[in-house]
Amino acid sequence: MVEIVSTRVSKIAFGYNSQFIILSLAWVGIGIGGIIIFFRWEQIYMELNRNLLVFSLISISRIKK
């Protein structure tokens, strides 16, 4: 559905041959995002765990009072 909408919009805005460029750039962006997440996963995961630990400690300390 997204591809159909994007090709229709690009045909109206840019002409007939540019929709392939737009879709290719979208797929490249998704791929680069995946590569960045792959290599930075440990840093993201550790930060998420730290935030979760702090939140749970604060929640538990408020319950005990």
The predicted structure's pLDDT at residue 31: 92
Give mean pLDDT, residues 30-39. 90
With vertex at residue 41, the alpha carbon angle to CA 37 and CA 25, rounded to the nearest 5 degrees, is 0
* Cβ-Cβ contacts under 8 Å for 6 (sequence gap 6 or more): 19, 22, 23, 26
At residue 21, the pLDDT reads 75
Counting the structural domains of the chain, the total is 1
pLDDT confidence tier of residue 56, bands split at 50, 70 and 90: confident
Considering the chain, what is the average pLDDT of its residues?
78
SS (H, E, C) 25-62: HHHHHHHHHHHHHHHHHHHHHHHHHHHHHHHHHHHHHH
Task: Supply the range of the domain harboring residue 49.
Answer: 2-64
pLDDT value at residue 16: 66
Per DSSP, the three-state class of 18 is: coil
Predicted TM-score (pTM) of the model is: 0.46
CB atoms closer than 10 angstroms to residue 6? 14
